[in-house]
Homo-oligomer: A and B are copies of this chain.
Amino acid sequence: MKNIGFSQVDITGGIMGRRYKTNAEATVFAVRDRFMETGRVDPYYSDESLRAENYPKNLHIFYDSDVVKLVEGAAYIVQKKSDPEVEALIKLVEEGVARNQGEDGYFNSWFQNNDQDKRWTNRDWHELYTAGHLIECAVAVYEATGRRTLLDCACRFADYIEKVFVTEKSAKFLTPGHEEIELALVRLYHATGNKKYLELAKYFVDARGNKEEIELAVKERGIPSSIQAHLPARKQFTAEGHAVRACYFYSAMADIAREYGDDELLTACKTIFEDIIKRKQYITGGVGQNHVGERFDHPYLLPNENAYNETCAGIAFVMFAKRMLELDTDSKYADAIELAIYNAILSGVSLDGKAFFYENPMEINLDKYKMDDWVDTNIEYEKMPRMQQFERQKVFACACCPPNVCRFFASIGGYAYGKDEGSYYIHQYFNGQMTDGDVNIKVETSYPAENTVKITAQNTKQVAVRIPGWCKKFSLDRRYTMHKGYAVIEGDGEINIEFDMPAVLMTAHYRVNSDVGRVALKRGPLVYCIEAMDNGGELRSLYVSSKLNAEISYNKELDAYTIETDGFRIEDSDKLYRTIDDQPKFTPTRIKYIPYFTFANRGVTSMEVWVKLKRGE
């Protein structure tokens, strides 16, 4: 199965249609403006007077990656619809890179402006990561505009990297500290047809975790698994270490498995994928539990308040899942993509598209801080060794997520359809259409806000529509056969599907300590949460009823369906411990849920995904 690129897909309505539009009309400019204000774009101006006063001293070591990732998104945007302002940003960076690239092909504003001698001396400095993003950007700009300027820069850079790492072996390290270049090189190979880039990608994948590499990693960082350098790729069967690095690497492993028909690598990828979805993923699809090292943690260790769930890790996981779907057309991969998109990733950006979460918690508990007496008023951070973010920020020092969000939603159409010989797959139900030669598939739906999908297929021999894993009952007005989670329909014409999509309570595996005695509300792929501002007071005192009695209604402010359920509020108690037959009073109440992706859009307030279930319920 081959995914169909976003350029062949229009998304024109529903949650994703709104997100696509906001991304192209607000997010790209919001991120651009913040990047300009913070000097990130300075190195790309030819006119030095446009540069920030203190340039280049305030450059971050991988500022370039932020900028080119944004430009990658910008390219996707203009590929679908021209926009002079977005075009101008692309040109600025395109020309800046071409102007600043070294004779030898090297490009990295920090090293070029600060200390050339530091090049390739420390793999934690993200040089190959930044190079990878430049390559992805170059491919995107080339595909959007047909201009080869950046693509040629990328090729020169990649040639130079091959020389340094393969031919001369003159770098002080063997493989990137932060993976990304591997999958980028595969894209460069596809864009140029030059197999040398694919081989370089394979070289980096193969070199990872060999004996020499492990020794180096121990010397450098002490923790090889934090950068997936603990074992050779083909011997890795669990998701380990920094989650963004990991999932970019697993994406490259899947790429190499596909390109070379490498079954050993494929097995590793499949096993790692199962390890993630069965033992290390939040109910929202978020990954990377632990803020220390931004990493995958112990299986089933999924704390709520301290959930890390970096937005970039969600995106990287979906990139991995997309590649797995191409290798093995099983709806479980598309299910995983759907879950992460609508929850873990969508929550990373505000509804207006201008503010971002780096971390996506499962709980915000402001009451905890309020209850404290803040005895050290002069040192407010004392009680909070790591201050949780309660609202989305416009920019952060390490601003990988905002441009990643931009490029992700600008190319979101690429996750919706696939083709396998004569068959067309519909993985995601985005309102809009797909065109592939004389084939056209139109999808009319408000899914997942609503539960019906009308598909009109023209000139298809076979259409395979995903029946989501969460769906226990559906109706489809055509004859179909099920195959790995897809309903396969012969011919073309109209297809109407209705998914049974009640609000349901979910429980977590018994090994997840944080969710014992708690349930989460889901409706279709959407995870719900409760915010204090809707529920009048302390969220911790609320208990949902297993009887639910759910009422679904449209909320204009959030432009989303909210759900009211039955529940209880427990009376406060001045006893810390009580016998089970002497419990405080529970008063029936209604509990107001909103979709998780809409939380923290109306001000700072407490939030819970996992709400307590009353004992005996």
In the complex, which residues of chain B have a beta carbon less than 8 angstroms from the beta carbon of A104?
none
A550 interfacial by beta-carbon distance below 8 Å: no
> A297 within 8 Å of B by Cβ?
yes
Chain A contact-residue range equals 35 or more
A437 to B223, CA, bound (A): 68
Given the complex, which residues of B lie within 8 Å of A367, measured CB to CB? 511
A230 touches B376 (CB 8 A): yes
The answer, among B304, B373, B379, B506, for a CB contact under 8 Å with A577, is B506
15 example contacts (A-B, Cβ-Cβ < 8 A) are as follows A218-B378, A231-B375, A236-B375, A237-B373, A238-B375, A240-B375, A277-B576, A507-B577, A507-B583, A509-B573, A509-B577, A513-B540, A517-B517, A520-B577, A616-B617
The CA-CA distance from A575 to B301 in the complex, in Å, is: 15
Task: Answer yes or no: A479 CB below 8 A from chain B CBs.
Answer: no
Residues of B within 8 A of A612 (CB): 510, 516-517
User: CB within 8 A of A223: which of B278, B376, B512, B580?
Assistant: B376
Which residues of A come within 8 Å of B, CB atoms?
Answer: 214, 218, 222-226, 230-231, 236-238, 240, 277-279, 281, 283, 292, 297-301, 304-305, 367-369, 371-373, 375-376, 378-379, 382-383, 385, 472, 504-514, 516-520, 540-541, 546, 570, 573-581, 583-584, 612-613, 615-617
Smallest distance from the beta carbon of A154 to chain B beta carbons, Å? 33
Neighbouring B residues of A613 by C-beta, 8 Å: 517, 615
- Which residues of the partner chain B approach A385 to less than 8 Å between Cβ atoms? 292
**Shortest CB distance A166–B (Å):** 27
Which residue of B is nearest A615, CB measured?
B613
Q: Is A575 touching B278 in the complex (CB atoms < 8 A)?
A: yes
Pair A517/B519 contact, Cβ less than 8 Å: no
A540 and B510 form a contact (CB under 8 A): yes
Q: Report yes or no: A580 in contact with B504, Cβ–Cβ below 8 A.
A: yes
Q: Smallest Cβ distance from A127 to chain B, in angstroms?
A: 25
With A230-B376, A516-B612 in contact, do A382 and B278 touch (Cβ < 8 Å)?
A: no
Option from B279, B371, B373, B376 in Cβ contact (under 8 Å) with A300: B371
A462 to chain B, nearest CB (A): 31
Residues of B within 8 Å of A577, CB to CB, are 283, 506-509, 520
Decide if the interface of chain A is mainly helix, strand, loop or mixed: loop
Residue from A367, A373, A375 with most neighbouring chain B CB atoms (10 Å): A375
**Bound CA–CA A21/B517 (angstroms):** 44
Contacts of A510 in B (CB 8 A): 540-541, 570, 573, 584, 612
Q: Are A576 and B278 in contact (CB under 8 A)?
A: yes
Closest 10 CB pairs of A and B: A517-B517, A516-B517, A505-B580, A225-B375, A230-B375, A238-B373, A225-B376, A504-B579, A506-B577, A510-B570
User: Contact: B516 with A576, CB < 8 Å?
Assistant: no
Nearest CB to that of A616 among chain B residues?
B616
Extra pairs beyond A505-B580, A510-B584, A546-B580 (11, CB < 8 Å): A223-B379, A231-B375, A278-B574, A283-B576, A298-B369, A298-B371, A505-B579, A507-B578, A510-B541, A510-B570, A516-B517
**Residue of chain B at shortest CB distance from A518:** B516
Q: Which residue of B lies closest to A304 (CB)?
A: B513
**Residues of B contacting A279 in the complex (Cβ-Cβ under 8 angstroms):** 576
Instruction: Find chain B residues with CB under 8 A from A226 CB.
Output: 382
